Amino acid sequence: MLKEELEVTAFMARLDIKEEEKEKYLADINVMFDYIEILQEPGVASLKPTTHVTELRNVWRDDVVKPRAKDTIDQMLNGSPAREGTFYKVQKVIEAQ
């Protein structure tokens, strides 16, 4: 991984990385690239990928609202770093033109 790739990956991951941290991340992540190489060894072209080990396919249930305690919404919102009324408060998403 090159420094530019690390910067793109960090943006994709929404992680702010300081300039002075980049060298250590690069060194450690580049060691992990050996794992990717090892996995190219076996002949597995004919095998199906395993995403999970269960035999389950789509698991359906009725779309029914289950009753919750009245204060649930308030409790959920209280966990937020910033709320306004019954909303989560966030930074402005659309910049002015």
Residues that bind another protein (CB under 8 A): 1, 5-6, 9-18, 25, 28-29, 32, 34-36, 38-42, 44-45, 47-54, 56, 59, 61, 72, 75-76, 78-82, 88, 90-93, 95
* Min CB(37)–another protein separation in Å: 8
**CA dist., res. 25 & res. 60, Å (int):** 42
* Min CB(36)–another protein separation in Å: 5
Scan for tokens 């789509």, then name that residue: 58
Structure tokens at 87: 């909303």
Q: Do residues 3 and 22 touch, judged by C-beta distance below 8 A?
A: yes
* Min CB(32)–another protein separation in Å: 5
Torsions phi, psi of 88, nearest 5? -80, 135
Nearer to another protein, 5 or 23 (CB): 5
DSSP state of 84: E
